Chain A
Amino acid sequence: MTSRPLSAGELRAERWRLRARGMRDFGRRFARRKDGVIGIVVLAVFAFLALFPSVLVGPLQTATTAPGLPLQPPSLEFPLGTDDLGRSMLNLTVHGARISMVIGLLATAVTVLIGAVIGIASGYLGGRTDTVLMRITDFFLVLPTFVLALILAPIILDLIGTDATILGIPSTLFVIIVVIGVTSWASTARIIRSQALSVKERMFVARARVIGGGGAHIMWRHIMPNVLNLIVANTVLTFAGAILTETTLSFIGLGDPLLPSWGVILNSAQTSGAPGLGAWWYFVPPATCIVLVVLAFTLVGGALDDVLNPRMRARR
């Protein structure tokens, strides 16, 4: 074998070849997990609903464009019945997919971002920074964060008003997203910190430090890629939690009635007394969607965790 140093182009090609092989390997191992594959299929269906709701069931119906009578049971015209305003439940549920999934996605992004930054910084920097950050993390782990979210949301809403938009997102949704993120990052931070602690001791980190790499550079280029597996598996599980939290917050009345997520629909089902009137079609469709999505995320998360973090595999 010649020891000619590789040119930049060859190096890049080699890197891509390795990456593609890694992906193929990963795909093969993931495909063996039947529960994970089922989860992916379910999520793909809901992603499709969330992407093209208007194509599938027409624009979101409002109180003024409601086509039916209040609380009609399922029929040919309204396959899932109507709500107390006469809107088609099929229309509402499909549009709810988009709103719930978008809130879930953004809240997950905020959660994982905060958790990853704190976890990596805490694990890599160590010392006093670590102690302080982990004290704060422990505090958030013990605290019933849902109750905190429940107080924070109305306070922030009162501060910024309900008509404003922030970064193109209506403030009502923005507040829910931020509140979920701010209150649920702690377990992510814990998991990532423990992995960062062990990655930090590896030889390539010492080498990077010797050739003069700064803290931020090492954390971003060396620690982060090596905790990425954990971050990915954790993101999927966090998504499930974010959707459940959003649903619960909306159910107790913190959602935006003009942007009906599944939780908001369940809230109006409850306040209109649907369960007491026997109108099961008002809450069964959104509730089924929530259970399916959360279950799918849990299955995919579990399968990913197995495939990406093989050291844990023997235990299951």
Chain B
Amino acid sequence: MGSRYLARKVVQALLTIAFIVLLNFVLFRMMPGSPDRVLARNLPETARAELRSRWGLDKPLIPDQFIAYVGSTLRGDLGGSYKFNGRTVVDVIGDRMWPTIILFGLGELIAIVVGLSLGAYSGWRRGGPVDYIGNGFSLVLYSMPYFVIGMLLLIIFATGLGWFPTSGMFSLGVRFQSFPQQVADFAWHLALPLATVAIGLIGQYSILMRSSIIDTLTEDYVTTARAKGLTEGRILRSHALPNARLPAVTLIAINLGYVIAGAITVEVVFNWPGIGTLTVTALNARDYPVLQGIFILLSVSVVLANLVADLIYGVLDPRVRT
């Protein structure tokens, strides 16, 4: 890969992250009241003055407080939570990260495989029965907020049929059982939220891949391949698909920001103990430090995912590596 392409993309990502950190500082200072008044509500004035000087709040906003803020952010110190007494933001968020990563990692994976295949097939057999039904379903799913899909699955398969649990990640007392039983219990709890995420994403990815493949099929090189007498399957596999994949990669990365919005709500519906439910808890308690930590975490993840997508794009399409 061209090192200039790589360098440019990395610098762009770093600049964006710097912007995010700056924005976070500004947002935090917009808040009503000084942080010490909120955090140390019940302490006498002398103790608060002591805290203010320890936190550097008696120094001017710019440059002293800003430098201190950037320094601590870089060190990974995002401050303490208001709501979860005595715990740091990093600690609180860290606890909730792996349920979200499992749920959305797996969901994305299923959706990418199923959604892209479905979209490619619908676009290729445009106007056929799969396209007709698939496109209709995708459009409806596309218009449906994730949590509505979740509520429907919940009421049908958990409340109605009783096949799956309605909430949480583990059954009570399961930690006294053997490891395979714990894994089975986890998978049982995971099934419905995972299905919700995957179904929600499949609609988007299939619409995206379908239009991408339709675009590709009108290109001259496809006509050439057809004129050479290649079979339809061969045209699709070696000429149309590799090129149609390119916009899909970019769009999946751009979509990630929207996926996160859905992510938060799905977790709320199933009471899944991840970042999403934490966000709502923090929101209701107005736990700003935790909210800001979540904001930094999610934004930086999305920026990094975009960087990875750009790099994959560079591997798949040699033309952009200049």
Contacts and interface: CB of A to CB of B under 8 A. Distances in A.
Contacts of B27: 151-152, 155
Contacts of B298: 144, 147
B299 A147 contact: yes
Contacts of A298: 139, 142-143
Interface string B137-164: 0011011110110011011001110000
Interface string B246-276: 0000000010111011101100110000000
Interface in A49-76: none
Interface in B8-38: 16, 19-20, 23, 27, 30-32
A146 B260 contact: yes
Given A291-B143, A315-B215, A316-B214, A266 B148 contact: yes
A248 B280 CA distance: 12
Contacts of B167: 276
Contacts of A117: none
A78 interface: no
A275 B295 CA distance: 29
Contacts of A141: 254
B88 interface: no
Contacts of A269: 151
A148 B16 contact: no
B243 interface: no
Contacts of A248: 145, 147, 261-262, 264-265
Contacts of A158: 31-32, 286
A266 B20 CA distance: 32
B16 A139 contact: yes
Nearest to B150: A275
A146 B214 CA distance: 31
Given A142-B306, A159-B32, A251 B265 contact: yes
A142 B283 contact: no
B218 interface: yes
A287 interface: yes
Which interface class (under 10, 10 to 19, 20 to 34, 35 or more) fits B? Answer: 35 or more
Contact of B166 (A146, A155, A276): A276
Nearest to B144: A291
A146 B261 contact: yes
A227 B101 CA distance: 42
A192 B184 CA distance: 52
B178 to A, nearest CB: 29
B271 to A, nearest CB: 10
A138 B12 CA distance: 10
B218 A315 contact: yes
B3 interface: no
A315 to B, nearest CB: 6
A248 B265 CA distance: 7
A15 to B, nearest CB: 38
A36 to B, nearest CB: 13
B251 to A, nearest CB: 12
Contact of A143 (B265, B284, B302): B302
Contact of A252 (B31, B258, B280, B286): B280
A252 B283 contact: yes
Contacts of B31: 155, 158-159
A275 B299 contact: no
15 contacts: A142-B16, A144-B261, A148-B299, A150-B264, A151-B292, A151-B295, A251-B265, A252-B279, A254-B283, A270-B147, A270-B151, A275-B151, A276-B158, A295-B143, A316-B211
Interface of B: 16, 19-20, 23, 27, 30-32, 139-140, 142-145, 147-148, 151-152, 154-155, 158-160, 166-167, 211, 214-215, 218, 254, 256-258, 260-262, 264-265, 268-269, 279-280, 283-284, 286, 288, 291-292, 294-295, 298-299, 302-303, 306
Report, nearest first, the 7 A-B pairs whose CB atoms are least far apart: A146-B261, A294-B143, A144-B257, A295-B143, A287-B148, A275-B154, A275-B155
